[in-house]
Amino acid sequence: MEITELVKMLEGYVRDLRREFHQYPELSYEEIETTKRIAAELETMGIPYEIHPEKNTGLIAIIHGAHEGSAVALRADIDALNVTEINDVDFKSRHEGKMHACGHDSHIAMLLGAARMLLAMKDDIYGTVYLIFQPAEELGSGASYMMRFGNWYDEIGAIFGAHAWIDTPAGKISVKEGANLAAGDQFTIRVHGKSGHASQPQQTVDAIVVSAAIVMNLQSIVSRHYSATEPVVLTIGMLHSGDRFNIIAGEAVMEGTTRFFDPAIGADLKSTMERIIIDTAHAYGATAELEYKEMVLPTINDKECTAIMSQAVVDVLGKDALFDISETMGGEDFAYYLKHKPGCFAFVGIYNPAVGAVHSHHSNNFTMDDSVLSGGSGVYAQSAINWLKLHRKKNT
């Protein structure tokens, strides 16, 4: 059966799976029931799989083609977020305070749809396709977790992934060579002042005032320390301090993230931040320290794999489906797969005002046009088939 026919035939299947997974979100490394449900679906297809035994979440499935050849991988992440959904839909999250607010439910559904398509096209498969259902992308550690499970990563010649993307119109897919997603690091700042009565500030060192100064001074790194042509983001996402309205806080904790593409900037950020944090605190009579954690690398698409995935979009949806977007400062731990193997990461458009799909990722209003997801499944499947065909002479 032709891939275009399969996309139409499986539209409802992929949509319904996405809505089912949407109702039962699980947080990073807690996706045990999600993993079981994926396994059950694979069993109905007769596809062998193994569940990662370390935490009983995440699995690897394998499809052997009709012909000998190399191996390629397709990856989907499966974790949800600590977000309370406020959408009024009949498939709303049933787990209070948890939501698939980044679209990973659709990634699961697209890869399961691709599995059905690959089974229907086994005669076109020259080698082996691994299906990687990965937990904990939101923590930036799920890729490494899956890479140490079995020998699949050593065996593959390339890997392909995709993300449902609200900045791309529904029915369009963006595939871009080179840097697509930024490196993303995490940091914690602890401020130590001196608490006291609100009516006697002269006897205290106000940790909130110190923290406010640190927040403002850190912004000068982006605006004054680096070139305006270099994409850099520094965001404080959390600041906790104080216990009562009439007590001056003596302690404060901040958490945030940095984003960049140039590794040289990444190496410089920590020392520059540390200098500003310590010196600002000292100027107010306080002390402070920085804990800095590298999370994900930049996601950089391989030239050949980008061409293969772009052609897959054309094969499945037509040349008009290709959509050009610039790189984003979001981060993805898919980058760790690309550190030692070529691959490509695409963006599947889900933006459609007609169905309310206009809100950003991680929003409690986030939703998508899920009628287009089977097209993403088709691109997954066709990318694997195209890569294996291109490399069959080298590996058979």
Per-residue pLDDT in tens (0 to 9) along the chain, 396 residues: 899 999 999 999 999 999 999 999 999 999 999 999 999 999 999 999 999 999 999 999 999 999 999 999 999 999 999 999 999 999 999 999 999 999 999 999 999 999 999 999 999 999 999 999 999 999 999 999 999 999 999 999 999 999 999 999 999 999 999 999 999 999 999 999 999 999 999 999 999 999 999 999 999 999 999 998 889 999 999 999 999 999 999 999 999 999 999 888 988 999 999 999 999 999 999 999 999 998 899 999 999 999 999 999 999 999 999 999 888 999 999 999 999 999 999 999 999 999 999 999 999 999 999 999 999 999 999 999 999 999 985 544
Paired with 259 in beta bridges are 184, 233
Please tell me whether 104 is known to bind a ligand. Answer: yes
CA dist 105 and 373 (Å) reads 11
Q: Please tell me whether 138 is known to bind a ligand.
A: yes
Determine contact, residues 157/395, Cβ cutoff 8 Å: yes
361 labelled as ligand-binding? no
Residue 104's Cβ-count burial label (10 Å; 0-12, 13-18, 19+) is: buried
Q: Give me 263's structure tokens.
A: 């590794």
Q: Is the pTM of this model over 0.85?
A: yes
pLDDT at residue 279 in the model: 98
Any alpha helices (H) in the chain, and if so which ranges? 3-9, 11-23, 32-45, 104-120, 142-147, 152-155, 207-220, 263-283, 303-317, 373-390, 392-395
SS (H, E, C) 266-310: HHHHHHHHHHHHHHHHHHCCCEEEEEEEEEECCEEECHHHHHHHH
Under a CB-based contact definition with an 8 Å cutoff, are residues 90 and 146 in contact? no
- Which residues are CB-contacts of 64 (< 8 A; sequence separation ≥ 6)? 122, 125, 128
Alpha helices in 89-230 (DSSP H): 104-120, 142-147, 152-155, 207-220
362 annotated among ligand-binding-site residues: yes
Q: In order of start, what are the domains of the chain with their CATH numbers?
A: 3-181+298-395 (3.40.630.10), 183-296 (3.30.70.360)
Query: Nearest CA to 317 among 116, 104, 170?
Result: 170
**For residues 194-218, b (16+ Cβ closer than 10 Å) or e, as one string?**
ebbeeeeeeebbbbbbbbebbbeeb
Q: What are phi and psi of 297, to 5 degrees?
A: -85, 170
Q: Is 289 annotated as a binding residue?
A: no
Residue 298's nearest CA partner among 343, 268, 329, 267 is: 329
Report the candidate in 321, 266, 330 with the shortest Cα–Cα distance to residue 293: 266
DSSP 69-87: EEEEEEEEE---BS-----
How far is the C-alpha of 150 from the C-alpha of 166, rounded, in Å?
A: 34
Order of strands, edge to edge, in the sheet holding 232-241? 232-241, 251-260, 183-192, 287-296
Given phi > 0 = left and psi -120 to 50 = alpha, else beta, which region is 117?
alpha
Q: What does the block give as tokens for 219?
A: 């912004």
Given this model, what pLDDT does residue 396 score? 43
Inter-CA distances, 134 with 57, 61, 74, Å: 8, 11, 11
Which residue has 């046009």 as its token pair?
369
Structure tokens at 141: 């550690």
Distance CA 191, CA 238 (A): 13
Burial class (CB within 10 angstroms; exposed 0-12, middle 13-18, buried 19+) of 297: buried
* Dihedral angle computed from the Cα positions of residues 52, 54, 56 and 57, in that order, rounded to the nearest 10 degrees: -60
Q: Identify which of 121, 142, 171 has the alpha carbon closest to the alpha carbon of residue 383.
A: 121
* Model pLDDT, residue 327: 84
Cβ(80)–Cβ(108) under 8 Å?
Answer: no
Phi/psi at 203 (5° precision): -95, 5
Mention every residue, 6+ apart, whose C-beta is less than 8 A from residue 385: 118, 121, 124, 125
